[in-house]
Amino acid sequence: MKVPPTSTPIPSIDEFKSLGTLLPYHTYLAYYDLLVALQSLNKDSTKERPVHLDLYCGTGMSSQVLADDYTRLGSSAIVVGVDRSFDRLSRGGMFKGSIKDPSDASIAANCNVRTISNNCIMVRADVPSLMSMYLNSRRPGLTPFPNVVKTTIFYPNPYPKSRSYNSRFYGEPWFLGYRLEAGGEVEVRSNWETLCMQALDVWKMGGMGVEGVEGVLRRVEEGGDGGVEGGGGVEVVEEGERRVSLFERKYFDVGERCFKVTLT
């Protein structure tokens, strides 16, 4: 029995405002357009296909690599790559033209979501805002998001200055909420080991709140063990592993070590 098609109406601006959210309307539209795209890819499936979120995907190379991996393994999973930069997504060939006047007719109706293949969708959206939509998707008036089996965050902006804790992805409120709601596992990669260590510590203490998390981050940055389990679980990306992004390829080309951590 096939999954029955479902109708996901795009709420009007008035309906959106009635929810009392501070999120931008274009993020709201991107979220619903993403649901429509996922429903379209599910129309011939006997059961709902799992979703892999690839956040801060940049040019989208990592999303395509992941989608190719799933195809090779015979998995039905759908990779959803998300990045806020239209320019980066365009450089990766995911989007064409400009936002004001798209040259590709297939995205003329919506410049925020594009289905690349049978198992890959690209979304132009601010990650914290979109993930807030994900976390609040069970509120009245919102449509729940499909089953997420894995999330990847490859080489995000590290914001290395100590005063920029809250700008790092694990300092965002959505990450603390995701710690409690996420399905599957979260894999983080970076050429800065401290970033992987901090992400691991924040994940382990999800209920401490922002102030408690900031204290741990400071101790890690100053060379302490973070107060949880330090960098245990952080691994080096091996030479023989396939390159998942342009950043990873660049770091290996210049001889830099890259690190990864899996959060479960």
Residue of higher predicted confidence among 158 and 93:
158
pLDDT of residue 154 exceeding 80 = yes
Instruction: Read off the tokens for 153.
Output: 């965050």
How large is the average pLDDT for residues 137-145? 67
pLDDT exceeds cutoff 80 at 222: no
203 token code pair: 């994940």
- The reported pLDDT for the residue numbered 242 is 84
Could you tell me the pLDDT band of residue 223, with boundaries at 50, 70 and 90? very low
- C-alpha–C-alpha distance, residues 176 and 184, integer Å: 16
Domain boundaries defined on the chain? 1-154, 179-264
Buried b (16+ CB within 10 A) or exposed e, 8-35: beebeeeebeeeebebeeebbbbbbbbb
Tell me the CA distances in angstroms from 242 to 94, 109, 235, 255, one per residue in order.
Answer: 21, 36, 15, 15
pTM above 0.75, yes or no: yes
Give per-residue pLDDT as tens, 23-53: 777 788 888 889 889 989 998 888 889 999 9
Grade residue 213 by pLDDT with cuts at 50, 70 and 90.
very low
C-beta of residue 225 within 8 angstroms of C-beta of residue 251: no
Better pLDDT: 228 or 148:
148
